A and B are shown apart, each in its own frame.
Chain A
């Protein structure tokens, strides 16, 4: 049976992981490939790296981390952050990433999704959406780190993204992000019940039950989190054992 995936997310700036200072047992905590290998051994099913380097020129250099990660780990990984063009897709995939996630740029240029999907296959194209509740049962899509309201409805954009060729969606709740009070289950349910590609929940995980509830109540395919893993509040293996005890199929 296909398992649900547990996915740690790492922010990278200028080739270095930004969070993760609490990994005192690792010599150089800020190398993406060292943390990547750590998570891979710890039982992560997949990794996501978001490059948050400020400028395009600096990002090109920063992306060299991808080659180092590809050489070190033997699980799939996705790279996102500042992806604007088909050249960015090519660059990231050539360096060894398995998937590329696109966010703000796809809102302005939806054809980018289609072009990338035709060229590299839908499985490489992850549409990442930053979503905020705007009304009862309604969520809007925001870009530029949640600062700009696009006016798009989250469910409509999710459906359109899949039609355009995205093979997976990451649904990041701006409301829940950082609160550690659980994923936005209502939002996730709305998306998973209407969209036919894998859905990854993002934003809000704080306790182990938050992860299992996202799967059991919102039927997501993967659960993504950052700080609870980086600060070792939750160990991946413990989490997967917990999820299995709740009847969820996981790779252990």
Chain B
């Protein structure tokens, strides 16, 4: 079964509905046995990195997710869920991520308006089955105040907001979206379609 990890943050219904629309059935769970048996794991999240990181490490979910990633299970992080896949975040302190992708989460600082909220376009950086239905210039819906600063090797597509913002990232079986594909109309639906073709 594919699971959406419920660690007490945010609304999971929209994601579940959007995935279902592309034929990806998911269960929403915080049960570690179910997550341990999952074939693909969605890590959603809105809110503060600190709370999310704390919830994952204290519950033992973090160790489980790292183990599953190492075993080759697809882990798909969305928004804060993607940021959690990096080494650490400097959101109001310094907090530990899962370390599945090398890099840090740092504050957006170049633009007068933060959060980066709204529709922004993507620039494709690297070919991958995940972005086979996506084009440079496609608009997706972003809401965030921090972004991933890394070597950039994992970037499939980025957005521009004063900085080059990693928007779609992939490192083997670890996949992340900084924006919300479930809120990104047709462009988002096409990304989830491609995702389904990879993980199912």
Q: Is B18 touching A45 in the complex (CB atoms < 8 A)?
A: no
User: Which parts of A1-38 form the interface with B (CB within 8 Å)?
Assistant: 1-3, 5
Q: Is B182 touching A120 in the complex (CB atoms < 8 A)?
A: no
Interface presence of B1 (CB below 8 A): no
Interface presence of B96 (CB below 8 A): no
With A98-B183, A119-B47, A197-B113 in contact, is A70–B13 under 8 Å at CB?
Answer: yes
Q: Complex Cα distance A121/B14, Å?
A: 18
Q: Give A94's nearest chain B residue, CB to CB.
A: B11
Q: Is B118 touching A5 in the complex (CB atoms < 8 A)?
A: yes
Contacts of B180 on A, CB cut-off 8 Å?
Answer: 76
Interface presence of B93 (CB below 8 A): no
Q: How many residues of A contact B (CB 8 A)?
A: 33
| Residue among A45, A118, A124 making CB contact with B118, cutoff 8 Å | A45
Q: Is A121 touching B48 in the complex (CB atoms < 8 A)?
A: yes
Contacts of B121 on A, CB cut-off 8 Å?
Answer: 1
With A96-B13, A96-B14, A124-B46 in contact, is A1–B115 under 8 Å at CB?
Answer: no
Q: Is A198 touching B117 in the complex (CB atoms < 8 A)?
A: yes
Main secondary structure of the interface of A (DSSP, over half): loop
| Residue among A74, A98, A120 making CB contact with B184, cutoff 8 Å | A74
Contacts of B143 on A, CB cut-off 8 Å?
Answer: 76, 98, 123
CB distance from B89 to the nearest CB of A (A): 14
The 6 A-B pairs of least Cβ separation, nearest first, read A251-B139, A123-B143, A3-B119, A251-B119, A121-B47, A96-B13
Interface residues of B (CB under 8 A from A): 10-11, 13-14, 17-18, 21, 46-48, 112-121, 139, 141-145, 160-161, 180, 182-185, 188-189
Interface residues of A (CB under 8 A from B): 1-3, 5, 40, 45, 67, 70-71, 74-76, 93-98, 118-124, 167-168, 196-198, 221-222, 251
30 contacts between A and B (CB under 8 A): A1-B120, A1-B160, A3-B119, A67-B13, A70-B11, A70-B13, A70-B14, A74-B182, A74-B189, A75-B141, A76-B180, A76-B183, A95-B11, A97-B11, A98-B14, A120-B46, A121-B46, A122-B115, A123-B46, A123-B117, A123-B143, A123-B145, A124-B46, A167-B117, A196-B113, A197-B115, A198-B113, A198-B115, A221-B117, A251-B139
